[in-house]
Structure formats: C-alpha cells, structure tokens
C-alpha cells in the first residue's frame, strides 16, 4: 500500500501558500505516496481543487486529512502559527509525522506541545546545508522569493524610476540601491535591482561572499572591520559582539548617504536580527529614500522598523514587510512543494515510512519523536 501524505489548508492569517502543489502530486504517486488535500488549500496560490484531482490527489475535509495521513505537510506548523495552529493539536496522533516551518529555535513551548501529541516533527528551517539536501532547502527557496519581492516593494515606493533613461526631456539618472546582507535573499535582491536598471552595491559581514556579489553585477562594499569568525559551518552569518556592530554602523553611515534604496536582509537563525541601521544613521539620507527591511520578522535590521508597518521618518519611507514569500504565493508554493516532496521521498521507502536517524538530513531536522523533544539545540531552549 502507498504511504499517505496529507496537506491541510493554512490557517495563519494572511498565509496564501500551500505545502503541496498539483504538479508534485503526480510525482509523489510515482514514489508510492498518495496525496490528500483539504478542499480549498491551494485556492489562494492559484491551485483550485480540480487541478489536484486531475493530478491524482484526493480532495477531502480537514479532519479526514489529519485522520488518514501518515505524513502531514504544512507551510506553517504550530511554532510558526502559534494561535490558530493550536486547534490542530487534537487532530494529531501519536506516531504521525509532521513537517513544515515551525521556528523551533524560538518556540520551545510549542515544540514541547508537539512532543506531547506524540508526533515526529521535522522542521524545514533546520535543513542542513549539504549538497544532498539542496533540493530540500526551503529557507533558501523562500529567501529567493523575498529578495525579489523586496526590490519590487522598494520600486513601488521610490519617487524615481530605477533605470538610466535618456529622453527628449533630459537624462534620468539610475537609482542607487544598497543591499545589506548577501545571502540568498540579498543576492536575489541584487539581481532583481540590476535587471530593473539600478546601480547596485552590497555589503556582507562575510568577506568570502565578495565574489558572489560581483557575479550578479553589484559592487562589494568593503568596511574596515574585523570579520573573522563571521560565518558558521553551514554558511550562515553568525552573531557578532556589540563592539563589532558599533564600528560597522559608523562606517555604513557614510555609504547610506549616497543611496536611494536600501534593502536589508541580515538575519541570524534563532536570534534577533542585528541592528545595522540606527535612527541617527538615517539623518544623512535624502528625503524620498526607501528602506525595505526584509529582516522585520526577526525584529528588523533598522532601529526604526515596525514589523508589518510602513513608517515615514524625515521623508524616508521604511517598510517592515512580514511573510514576504506569501506575497508571491504561486511560485513560493511551487518551490516549497518541491522541497517538501524531496524530503518526503527521503522518508518513504517502497511505500513505508522510515525514520532513519543515522541519515544526517533526518537527524538534523527531527525536533520531536516518540513523545520527546530530541533535537539538541531545541532541548537547550526547553530546559532553560
């Protein structure tokens, strides 16, 4: 018999993504995995129920999805949906597998509650950055969407156009865009701003990314700060001490004065985003300038960011958008669904679900199992 994968409709306010798209249903069936979809789950992402039926999925109600599925795949599990997600706890059962985003490094109570339900919870945020796991790297997939959309948000608020234009009415100079943080979101922001015709420069605490920044058409800004130890073994930026950030802010202030748009993307997994731009640093920026803080969900890289709001300070527009990938739900769902499908195929062998804790991917993403929190980093949070 095939394994059964269930995808319920997302309940987090404003969440428009879906964990499995119709295209993946067909691919999963070939791997002996049957798909159940809650009616309406894909509607806001542009995937109607009949598209799922046409690809071999069974469309049903929420209770049936949770009752019959051996594996439940969501975009936002309890930790990433702390209020509405609680209503799903009674629907989960011991021995069931749950996978999706769950913010395990900041939601110790929710992880404990999932452990109490008896499910084996796999957090997509904890996917190791190894070659074999690239097709499952949901964080990078969503960061790609966020970087693209962040630039469009900036362009829609900037009282200028991005490209150089030579017209009968005179020459329009190109917008100057500065990207802070050159991870996946930052690199996509650079590439998008360049395609729109802006002059782009970028900075990252990790000097090693200079070549990547230049490869997508931006100038790398070098600051005279000691950045040794700024990158962890997974390639993510590490938190630095306050003396480092103070010196960094002093040097960045001069760069900001020259910019029309600033896109900030600096985030440290499981930590509050570092403050890279203080209110004082904004005094040199021209009225009409725009800052898009893509780290707003972690508190923001700008001191004046208000998550989920747009602030105007001395003529500078500061955006703190939340859940940016959900603003592009169709492609975000397509990418996330591919990540989920690749991971689920790792768990299912000949129609049977197998949790092989010797496998690095499974071991590093497994948060709860057999009634306990088992991930070492999450255990530290639960114990503290």
Which of 109, 134, 215, 222 is an active site residue? 134
Which of 17, 70, 120, 137 is an active site residue? 137
Which of 39, 135, 140, 330 is an active site residue? 140
Q: Is 137 known to be catalytic?
A: yes
Beta bridge mates, 203: 180
Separation of alpha carbons 94 and 63, rounded Å: 16
Q: Is 248 known to be catalytic?
A: no
What is the 3 state secondary structure string of the chain? CCEEEEECCCCCCCCCCCCCCHHHHHHHHHCCEEEEEECCCCHHHCCCHHHHHHCCCEEECHHHHHHHCCEEEEEECHHHCCCHHHHHHHHCCCCCEEEEECCCCCCHHHHHHHHHHCCEEEEHHHCCCCHHHHHHCHHHHHHHHHHHHHHHHHHHHCCCCCCCEEECCEEECCCEEEEECCCHHHHHHHHHHHHCCCEEEEECCCHHHHHHHHHCCCEECCCCCCCCCCECCCCCECCCCHHHHHHHHHHHHHHHCCCCEEEECCCCCCCCCCCCECCHHHHHCCCCCEEEECCHHHCCCECCCCCCCEEEECCEEEECCCCHHHHCHHHHHHHHHHHHHHHHHHHEECCEECCCCCCHHHHHHEEEECCEECCHHHHHHHHC
Which of 236, 257, 306, 330 is an active site residue? 236
Q: Is 29 known to be catalytic?
A: no
Q: Is 156 known to be catalytic?
A: no
- The string over 208-222, giving b where at least 16 C-beta atoms fall within 10 Å of a residue's C-beta and e elsewhere, is ebbebbeebebebbe
Q: Is 259 known to be catalytic?
A: no
Which of 67, 129, 195, 247 is an active site residue? 129
Active-site residue list? 129, 134, 137, 140, 236
């Amino acid at each position: 018999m095939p394994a059964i994968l269930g995808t319920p409709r997302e309940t987090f306010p404003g969440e428009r993504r879906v964990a499995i798209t119709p295209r993946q249903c067909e691919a999963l069936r070939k791997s002996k995995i049957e798909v159940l979809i809650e009616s309406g789950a894909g509607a806001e992402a542009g995937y109607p129920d009949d598209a799922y039926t046409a690809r071999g999925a069974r469309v049903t109600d929420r209770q049936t999805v949770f009752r019959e599925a051996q594996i439940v795949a969501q975009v936002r599990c309890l930790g990433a949906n702390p209020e509405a997600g609680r209503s799903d706890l009674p629907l989960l059962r011991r021995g069931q597998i749950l996978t999706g985003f769950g913010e395990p490094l900041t939601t110790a109570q929710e992880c404990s509650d999932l452990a109490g339900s008896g499910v084996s919870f796999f957090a997509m945020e904890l996917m190791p950055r190894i070659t074999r796991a690239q097709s499952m790297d949901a964080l990078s997939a969503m960061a790609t969407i966020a970087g693209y959309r962040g630039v469009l948000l900036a362009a829609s608020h900037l009282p200028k156009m991005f490209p150089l234009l030579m017209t009968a009415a005179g020459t329009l100079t190109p917008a100057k865009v500065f990207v802070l943080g050159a991870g996946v979101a930052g690199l996509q922001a650079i590439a998008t701003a360049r395609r729109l015709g802006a002059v782009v420069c970028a900075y990252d605490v990790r000097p090693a990314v200079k070549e990547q920044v230049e490869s997508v058409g931006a100038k790398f800004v070098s600051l005279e700060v000691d950045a040794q130890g700024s990158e962890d073994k997974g390639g993510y930026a590490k938190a630095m001490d306050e003396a480092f950030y103070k010196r960094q802010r002093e040097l960045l202030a001069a760069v900001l004065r020259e910019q029309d748009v600033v896109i900030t993307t600096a985030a440290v997994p499981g930590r509050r985003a570092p403050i890279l731009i203080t209110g004082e640093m904004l005094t040199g920026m021209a009225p009409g300038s725009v800052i898009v803080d893509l780290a707003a969900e972690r508190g923001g890289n700008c001191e004046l960011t208000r998550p989920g709001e747009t602030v105007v300070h001395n003529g500078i527009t500061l955006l703190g958008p939340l859940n940016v990938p959900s603003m592009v739900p169709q492609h975000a769902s397509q990418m996330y669904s591919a990540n989920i499908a690749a991971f689920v195929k790792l768990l299912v062998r000949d129609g049977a679900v197998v949790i092989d804790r010797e496998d690095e991917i499974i071991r590093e993403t497994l948060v709860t199992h057999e009634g306990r929190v088992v991930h070492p980093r999450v255990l530290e949070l639960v114990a503290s």
